[in-house]
């Protein structure tokens, strides 16, 4: 029998034991993001957008239900401890840390859909509900289209109508007995908003070649800024209002530098030595949607048994006849939209573009060609992607 893992996120973009566990998780999270990105590069030449944290959370739930070599491979591939109790402590701390506040929304929701014929182990059910804060609902997978409609409606509701039609009817089969879904929704506004009246059409050079005119946002202000001679690139950190999250744009100085950046994704998370600098910023507005089937990516990371008949997920089912449960596919659907305000139509910015008389040490950051970006809360990578071409 099979089960399917789905995770989706929407962005409108715009320590005692707890901190110790977060630090350990963030180290693995950075490495996992690096690995997944590099694997996607092998099959993707265009824009990229992934949500590593969403994948880690839902696969960690599968790991709790795994045993033996299946469990070991999941722990290794996800860079998690090979200890279920420690994973549960880590996820508890993480979910608490990823909470929302007054000025932003960062909401993760988990749900497990189980075929009416499949009985779940009570201990696994308790972990799913108490640790992962997951809902559990019975569905009839033999009526595939009806089950898909129900699941898609739930995802649509949880992402405020931003992720639609996550599943296709062909993604669910009569042999599907369980489906794990994670939806992560992030909404925040910039600490320093761009003014719409300063946005104008400017060329963006797709793949460093042909240009298209796109809306370019402009703002001259003091930002966290860094120039890397090793990567031949500029780093600009755009903070979100109200909490310790930010989007960092990594802008290569030429096409060769983009390759160096993408070969060192883990390094760009930790290498920047930011300094407050007055920067003349020009970046494009953009909206990007991606949909990935990640089975082949995870196989390349050494997570193999989970997809084979040798998979041991015997801690999920309550009946020993369900020991041959295996993962069918892992699907991720992603959306990001970046505009002048971040994620809302509310402006908290100054009316002017910037200082009338900028200081002598002024930097220029013009993102008119391909770049890499990532969003972090603290040291946790929430999203990472690349804009290589715009419509």
As a whole number of angstroms, the distance between CA 250 and CA 236 comes to 7
CA-closest candidate to residue 295, choices 40, 69, 9: 40
User: Under a CB-based contact definition with an 8 Å cutoff, are residues 251 and 239 in contact?
Assistant: no
Which pLDDT value is given to residue 355? Answer: 42
- Residues β-bridged to residue 381: 376
3-class secondary-structure state, position 187: strand
For the chain, give the percent of residues with pLDDT over 90: 45
Which pLDDT value is given to residue 166? Answer: 79
Residue 368 has pLDDT above 90, yes or no: yes
Q: Which domains does the chain have, with CATH numbers?
A: 2-188+288-336 (3.30.497.10), 196-285+352-387 (2.30.39.10)
Work out the widest C-alpha separation in the chain, in whole angstroms. Answer: 74
Residue 361 has pLDDT above 90, yes or no: no
Phi first, then psi: give them for residue 122, nearest 5 degrees: -60, -40
Which residues 6+ apart lie within 8 Å of 43 measured at CB? 296
DSSP 127: H
Q: How confident is the model at residue 4 (pLDDT cuts 50, 70, 90)?
A: low
Residue 342 has pLDDT above 80, yes or no: no
CA-closest candidate to residue 337, choices 123, 160, 89: 160
Which residues 6+ apart lie within 8 Å of 229 measured at CB? none
pLDDT in tens, 194-206: 888 999 999 999 9
Which pLDDT value is given to residue 359? Answer: 64
Residue 322 has pLDDT above 60, yes or no: no
pLDDT in tens, 204-250: 999 999 999 999 999 999 999 999 999 999 999 999 887 678 999 99
Least confident of 13-22, 61-70, 108-117, 267-276: 13-22
Which residues 6+ apart lie within 8 Å of 83 measured at CB? none
Structural element, H or E, at residue 123: helix 122-130
Which pLDDT value is given to residue 69? Answer: 97
pLDDT in tens, 293-318: 888 999 999 999 988 888 898 888 87
How many Cα neighbours within 13 Å face the side chain of 271?
17
As a whole number of angstroms, the distance between CA 22 and CA 380 comes to 8
Positions of E strands within 172-232: 176-188, 200-205, 211-228
CA-closest candidate to residue 230, choices 204, 206, 253: 253
As a whole number of angstroms, the distance between CA 200 and CA 192 comes to 18
Long-range pairs for 267-270: beta carbons < 8 A, 24 or more residues apart: 267/231, 268/231, 268/235, 268/372, 268/374, 269/30, 269/33, 269/34, 269/374, 269/376, 269/379, 269/381, 270/30
pLDDT in tens, 55-92: 898 899 999 999 999 999 999 999 999 999 999 999 99
- Residues β-bridged to residue 101: 104
pLDDT in tens, 93-116: 998 888 755 666 776 777 788 778
Q: How far is CA 225 from CA 221, 228, 253, 340, in A?
A: 11, 10, 15, 19
As a whole number of angstroms, the distance between CA 312 and CA 73 comes to 11
pTM: 0.87
Residue 323 has pLDDT above 60, yes or no: no
Which pLDDT value is given to residue 343? Answer: 35
pLDDT in tens, 39-57: 999 998 899 999 899 889 8
CA-closest candidate to residue 62, choices 21, 2, 117: 2
Q: Which residue has the higher pLDDT, 178 or 268?
A: 268
Neighbours of 183 (CB within 10 A): 26
As a whole number of angstroms, the distance between CA 79 and CA 61 comes to 14
3-class secondary-structure state, position 300: helix
């Amino acid at each position: 029998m099979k089960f399917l893992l789905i995770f989706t996120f929407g962005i409108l973009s715009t320590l005692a034991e707890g901190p110790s566990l977060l630090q350990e998780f963030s180290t693995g999270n950075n490495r996992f993001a690096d690995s997944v990105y590099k694997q996607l590069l092998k099959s993707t030449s265009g824009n990229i957008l992934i949500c590593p944290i969403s994948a880690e959370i839902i696969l960690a739930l599968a790991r709790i239900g795994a045993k033996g070599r299946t469990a070991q491979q999941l722990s290794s591939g996800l860079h998690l401890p090979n200890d279920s109790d420690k994973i549960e402590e880590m996820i508890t701390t993480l979910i608490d840390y990823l909470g929302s506040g007054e000025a932003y929304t960062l909401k993760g929701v988990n749900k497990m859909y189980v075929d009416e014929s499949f009985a779940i182990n009570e201990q696994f059910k308790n972990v799913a509900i108490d640790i992962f804060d997951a809902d559990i609902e019975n569905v009839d997978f033999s009526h595939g289209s009806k089950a898909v409609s129900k699941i898609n409606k739930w995802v649509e509701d949880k992402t405020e109508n931003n992720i639609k039609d996550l599943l296709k009817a062909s993604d669910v089969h009569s042999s599907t007995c369980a489906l794990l879904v994670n939806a992560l929704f992030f909404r925040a506004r910039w600490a320093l908003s761009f003014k719409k009246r300063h946005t104008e059409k400017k060329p963006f050079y797709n793949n460093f070649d042909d240009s298209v005119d796109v809306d370019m946002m402009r703002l001259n202000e003091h930002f966290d800024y860094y120039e890397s001679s090793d990567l031949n690139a500029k780093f600009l950190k755009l903070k979100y209002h109200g909490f310790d999250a930010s989007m960092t744009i990594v802008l290569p100085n030429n096409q060769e530098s983009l390759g160096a950046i993408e070969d060192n994704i883990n390094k760009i998370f930790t290498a920047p030595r930011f300094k407050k600098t007055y920067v003349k910023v020009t970046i494009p507005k953009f909206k990007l949607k991606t949909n990935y089937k990640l089975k082949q990516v995870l196989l390349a990371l050494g997570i193999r048994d989970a997809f084979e008949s040798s998979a041991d997920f015997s801690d999920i089912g309550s009946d020993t006849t369900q020991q041959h449960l295996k993962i069918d596919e892992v699907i991720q659907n992603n959306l990001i939209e970046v505009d002048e305000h971040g994620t809302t139509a509310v402006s908290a910015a100054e009316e002017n573009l910037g200082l009338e008389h900028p200081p002598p040490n002024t930097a220029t950051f013009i993102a008119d060609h391909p770049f890499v970006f990532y969003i972090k809360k603290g040291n946790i990578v929430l999203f990472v992607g690349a804009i290589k071409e715009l419509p």
